[in-house]
Structure 1
Amino acid sequence: MAKAMRKGKDWKKAVQKVIHASPLQVTIPAGMANPKPPLGSQLAQYFMKLQINVVLFCINTVRNINVANFCKDFNLRTENIKEGIPLPCRVKVKSDGTYDLVIHKPPAIYFLKQAAGIQKGKIPNEEVAGKITFKHLYEIACIKGQDPTLALLTLEQVCVMLVGIARTCGIKIVRELDPAEHAQFMEERKENVNKFLEELEAAKETKIRRAV
């Protein structure tokens, strides 16, 4: 019997080593984790999937993770960050029911838009959505370089990556910004965005009328 018990413990240890489910990748606003959808649904589905995977081994089951407690834990860990800032997270549940929560820095696109003073990227018939300086780029690279996923990149490589992201959303990188010129640019940009949103809303209303 002692032999059987030892064998059971060995199997239990084996299961803890075999569970290599990919971490759940989800972006959660700082201080605003909520067990309601969509976050609650994503977490519940992920935790349930882990349970099924372990049950297939017919050895052990992952204990239920309380989504409400997870949200409380996240909000507590991000209480010193401005509420609402998007934070990419990696969640991995262990076989004993505990979990690892790794909170990354906000997405690069968030930092770039903040530095450029815009909320929306490039719109149709627009080449430049916003402008930032090389100093902005360097400061963002220093912050993003702290992410575990970018740990193997040099600061120069992170800068190159950011240049590519900035280009895709229409953000131009310049050596310096003239205050008066930039203010005029931002005013014109605001008008273009408002015009685009009005046209988009009109197109939606026309589509709805046709459907009716």
Structure 2
Amino acid sequence: MSKLKSAKKGVEKVIHSTPLRIWIGAGVAQPGPPLGPQLGQRGINIAQFCKDFNERTKDVKPGTPLPCTISVKADRSYDIQIRVPPISYFIRQATGQARLAMDQSQETAGILSLKHVYEIAQVKSKDPLYDCVPLKKICEEIIEEAFHCGVKVVDRIDEHKYMDFMKQRQEIVAKQLKELEDLKQSKLLRTA
């Protein structure tokens, strides 16, 4: 019986918890909500985590959304895997659009050149998710994602035509935002 008790003491405590998947802005991790409570529930030193995360992401543009996977160990230490931002983020950056299409079948939100697609694919190839994935396959995924965002992929972009397109697009986005605000106000009036 005493051997059994000593064997129990000798066994390391293993915590089988699922990893925390969260999006954190590069260089702007703060101990407050929403990050602080999620880490605090798992017993992680929040201030130390924020300091470590901000140090690891100091070379990335501040505020860039980074998908992270945090695994907590039994001794309350953690492993963090920081991935590259999503394809839609790069598409928005390359097209210069803050908003993409609400309905991709009826509107074009931007224009992307094949050069942009290739550059995005090179950045995404460094992501652990795309380890051992050929660059051609990543380019195909980017083109497909662009289609779903309402972005047209072309060989070359004419600068003057694109400037005209951007002016038209700003008017469309302003109209869409006004319609959404009107809809939101009408719902608030109904519930009040």
What TM-score does the superposition give when structure 1 sets the normalisation length? 0.82
Q: Which of 97, 103, 120 is the equivalent residue of 2:99?
A: 120
Give the distance between the partners of 2:109 and 2:7, measured in 1 at CA.
Answer: 64
Find the residue that maps to 1:191 and give its secondary structure. Answer: helix
User: What's the CA shift for 1:203?
Assistant: 1.6
Q: How does 1:80-99 map to 2 (within 5 A)?
A: 80-99=59-78
User: What's the CA shift for 1:22?
Assistant: 2.7
Gaps of 5+ in 1: 48-63
Match of 1:50 in 2: none
Contact 1:90 1:101 in 2 (8 A): yes
1:21 is aligned to 2:17: yes
Q: Which contiguous aligned blocks of 4+ residues in structure 1 show a shift greater than 4 angstroms?
A: 1-6
Give the distance between the partners of 1:130 and 1:10, measured in 2 at CA.
Answer: 62
Contact 1:123 1:193 in 2 (8 A): no
Match of 2:153 in 1: 173
- Aligned sequence identity (%): 43
Q: How does 1:39-188 map to 2 (within 5 A)?
A: 39-45=35-41, 47=42, 64-124=43-103, 126-188=106-168
Distance 1:191 1:44, change over 3 A: same
User: What's the CA shift for 1:2?
Assistant: 9.3
Aligned residues: CA RMSD: 2.0
The AA in structure 1 aligned to 2:130 is: L
Q: How far does the alpha carbon of each residue in 1:122-156 deviate from its partner, in whole angstroms, 9 at most, with x for none?
A: 02474210011111001111111111111131111
Q: Count the aligned residue pairs.
A: 191
The AA in structure 2 aligned to 1:30 is: A
Match of 1:7 in 2: 7
User: What's the CA shift for 1:41?
Assistant: 2.3
The AA in structure 1 aligned to 2:7 is: K
What TM-score does the superposition give when structure 2 sets the normalisation length? 0.90
The AA in structure 2 aligned to 1:21 is: S
Match of 1:31 in 2: 27
Give the distance between the partners of 2:77 and 2:21, measured in 1 at CA.
Answer: 17
